[in-house]
Amino acid sequence: MLTVKNIHQYYGGSHILRDVSFEATLGKVTVLLGRNGVGKTTLLKSLMGLVPIKSGSIELEGKPIHKSTPYERARAGIGFVPQGREIFARLTVEENLRMGLAYKSGSTPIPAELFELFPVLKQMINRRGGDLSGGQQQQLAIARALAPKPKLLILDEPTEGIQPSIIKDIGRVIRMLADRGDMAIVLCEQYYDFAQELADDYLVMERGEVIARGLGKDMEAQGVRQLVAI
């Protein structure tokens, strides 16, 4: 679904991403791990087109997208859940979900399925985003990204600052979405146990480089917990 080859990225003179290559496959969760500041968010933003890459290529279903705008990439089927959620605090839950459909035709309904995945959003449909708890906001951000039915879902640290019961719910939804087989998921995580539970494939980054990769089931044996321990 997604093929990333040899990408390099710089902020001013700092070389942030160094020759990063990986693939994300339909029906699988590809987990990206790494300590603070190693370039995880930068990598995810470059997939979405929010930061430009200097060299390398990004393909979605075999088509190059690295010259496309974020808007075009969203239309091509990428859903993005940013670190820190970035929901619209003054808009209602319903309006936030409609923002996820902004580039579809005006009459596209909010898929009912989103309320099955996250029942709390139904209860709070008229509440302002800013009045939700952190965990509810994260569920809203995920639902907003799912609204246009992406083929590739990218999540940047969805468990950050969230209570355990909601983390469990989010994990269940991610697994279920992957198991349906029609979506590839890239999940960036620093919460090791959550990452390990969900990973079909994993990558570990350090200083902008991929330093380890493999199958999720081998993470413990391959010492990934130690690699990312703070």
Ligand X SMILES: Nc1ncnc2c1ncn2[C@@H]1O[C@H](COP(=O)(O)OP(=O)(O)OP(=O)(O)O)[C@@H](O)[C@H]1O
Tell which one of 13, 36, 107, 180 touches ligand X (CB under 6 A).
Answer: 36
Question: Which of Mg ion, ligand X, none has residue 159 at its interface (CB below 5 to 8 Å by kind)?
Answer: none
Amino acid at 46: S
Tell which one of 9, 41, 138, 159 touches Mg ion (CB under 5 A).
41
Q: Does 38 bind ligand X (CB under 6 A)?
A: yes
Using CB under 6 A as the binding rule, whether residue 3 contacts ligand X is answered as: no
Residue 11 in contact with ligand X, rule: CB under 6 A: yes
Which C-beta is closer to Mg ion: that of 83 or that of 108? 83
Rounded-to-integer distance, Cα 14 and Cα 155, Å: 25
**Nearest distance, CB of residue 44 and ligand X, angstroms:** 8
Least distance from C-beta 230 to Mg ion, angstroms? Answer: 14
Q: Which of residues 58-117 bind Mg ion (CB under 5 A)?
A: 83
> Is residue 159 close enough to count as binding Mg ion by CB under 5 A?
no
Query: Could you tell me which stretch among 30-38, 68-76, 125-133, 144-152 binds ligand X (CB under 6 A)?
Result: 30-38
Number of residues that bind ligand X (CB under 6 A): 12
User: Which amino acid is it at 42?
Assistant: T
Question: According to the 3-state scheme, what is the secondary structure of 147-213?
Answer: CCCCCEEEEECCCCCCCHHHHHHHHHHHHHHHHCCCCEEEEECCCHHHHHHHCCEEEEEECCEEEEE
Mapped onto helix, strand or coil, the DSSP state of residue 227 is: helix
Sequence-distant (6+) residues with CB within 8 A of 35 are 190, 206, 228, 230
Q: In the bound complex, which residue of the shown chain has the CB atom lying closest to Mg ion?
A: 41
Among 21, 57, 83, 222, interactor with ligand X by CB under 6 A: 83
Sheet holding 152-156: strands in order across? 78-81, 152-156, 184-188, 29-33, 201-206, 209-215
Kindly write out the interface string for residues 39-68 of this chain, putting x where it contacts ligand X by CB under 6 A and - elsewhere: xxxx--------------------------
- Write the CA distances from 109 to 59, 106, 117, 147, 157, integer angstroms: 29, 8, 16, 9, 28
Q: Which residues bind ligand X (CB under 6 A)?
A: 11, 16, 34, 36-42, 83, 190
